[in-house]
Amino acid sequence: MSNLSRRDFLERSMMAAAAAALPATPLLANAAPERRAGPNDVLRIAVCGVKGRGLAHVGEWAAMKDVQVAAIVDIDENVIHNALSSVEKKAGNKPVYYQDFRKMLEDKSIDAVSIATCNHTHTLIAINSVIAGKHVYVEKPLSHNIWEGRKLVEAARKYKKCVQHGTQSRSAGGHRKAATFLAEGKLGAIKVSRGLCYKRRESIGKKPNGEVPKGVDYNLWLGPAAERPFNPNFFHYNWHWHWDTGNGDIGNQGVHEMDKARWYLGKNSLPLKVTCIGGRFGYEDDGETPNTQIAVFDYGDSQLMFEVRGLETDKFMGEKVGNIVHCKDGYVAGTSAFDLEGKKIPMEVKEDGRATNHFRNFIESAKSGNHETLNADVLDGHLSSALCHLANISYRLGEQRPITKDDPFTCEEGNEAFNRTRKHLVENGVDLAKTQLRVGRTLSFDPKNEKFVGDPEADKLLTREYRKPFVVPENP
Mean per-residue pLDDT over the chain, rounded: 93
pTM for the whole structure: 0.92
Q: How far apart are CA 225 and CA 218, in angstroms?
A: 11
What is the band of 404 on the pLDDT scale with cuts at 50, 70, 90?
A: confident
Q: Which of 158, 44, 50, 172 is nearest to 112 (CA)?
A: 44
**Kind of pairing, strands 399-402 and 436-439?**
antiparallel
Report the CATH number of the 173-205+241-350+378-460 domain. 3.30.360.10
Q: Quick one: pLDDT at residue 434?
A: 94
Establish whether domains 6-170 and 173-205+241-350+378-460 are of one fold.
no
Please report how the helices 378-396 and 146-158 are oriented relative to each other, as an axis angle in degrees rounded to 10. 170
Report the CATH number of the 6-170 domain. 3.40.50.720
Q: Quick one: pLDDT at residue 293?
A: 98
Q: Is the pLDDT of residue 8 over 70?
A: no
Cis? peptide before 456, omega within 30° of 0: no
30 versus 54: which is more confidently predicted?
54
Cα four-point dihedral sign 152, 153, 154, 156: positive
Q: Quick one: pLDDT at residue 190?
A: 97
Q: What is the DSSP string of 238-273?
A: GGGGSTTT--TGGGTTHHHHHHHHHHHHT--S--SE
23 versus 403: which is more confidently predicted?
403
12 versus 41: which is more confidently predicted?
41
Domain boundaries, the chain: 6-170, 173-205+241-350+378-460
Q: What integer is the mean pLDDT of 71-80?
A: 98
* Per-residue model confidence as pLDDT tens digits over 286-299: 999 999 999 999 99
Nearest 5 degrees, angle CA 289-CA 191-CA 260? Answer: 50
Q: How far apart are CA 314 and CA 320, in angstroms?
A: 7
Contacts of 290 (CB under 8 A, 6+ apart): 248, 278, 279, 280, 308, 395, 438
* Per-residue model confidence as pLDDT tens digits over 208-226: 999 999 999 999 999 999 9
Q: Quick one: pLDDT at residue 2?
A: 40
What is the band of 405 on the pLDDT scale with cuts at 50, 70, 90?
A: confident
Q: Quick one: pLDDT at residue 35?
A: 53
Q: Quick one: pLDDT at residue 1?
A: 40
Instruction: Return the number of other C-beta atoms located less than 10 Å from residue 420's C-beta.
Output: 15
Q: Which of 363, 466, 376, 304 is nearest to 62 (CA)?
A: 363
Q: Do 462 and 17 contact (CB within 8 A), yes or no? A: no
